Amino acid sequence: MELGSLPEWFTACAEVLAVCTALFLPQYRAYRDRRESLARMRRVTKGMLADLVDERQARPSADPDQLESAQELELYLRVSFFVLSDAREIALRGQVERLYRRLMGPAPDLAALRRDVAAL
């Protein structure tokens, strides 16, 4: 039995690598995109919540429903309800919504909420 020449072995290895790349590269890219999407969503929601905490602290007597940052976050939460499909993003949306509800309540503990937002 003949094992073949070096160029034949090189060609066979290159074909196996090409098949592996074709099979697994799209999965890896999808995984990386989902991870980046979650990180981006975390940054955006954290910033929006921090803005709302700052605005509630700066204007304690204002109606929370009339604050611009509250309206923007409410719109983001409504849109994200229909757009999100990844379980981790949906869980993050749930955490953000709970913090939003606590912020919109009467006399929220802003120091505790600021810590919760930072821990998000």
Q: How far are the Cα atoms of 21, 82, 102 from residue 78, in angstroms, in the given order?
A: 39, 7, 17
96-106 burial, b if ≥16 CB within 10 A, otherwise e? bbebbeebbee
Residue 47 lies in a domain: yes
Q: Does 98 reside within a domain?
A: yes
Q: Which domain holds residue 76?
A: 37-119
Q: Is 50 within a domain?
A: yes
For 52-62, write each residue's pLDDT tens digit.
888 888 888 88
In a domain, 88, yes or no: yes
**Residue 16 lies inside a defined structural domain of this protein:** no
The pLDDT-based confidence of 29 (bands split at 50, 70, 90) is very high
Dihedral of alpha carbons 81, 85, 91, 92, sign: negative
- The whole-model pTM stands at 0.74
Tally of domains within the chain: 1
Confidence of residue 1 (pLDDT cuts 50, 70, 90): low
d(CA 67, CA 56): 8
Q: Where are the alpha helices (DSSP H) in 59-86?
A: 68-83
In single-letter form, the type of residue at position 95 comes to Q
Look at residue 2 and tell me if it is in a domain. no
Evaluate whether residue 108 is within a structural domain: yes
- Spatial CA neighbour of 77 closest among 60, 100, 58, 59: 100
Nearby residues of 119 by Cβ (< 8 Å), 6 or more positions away? none
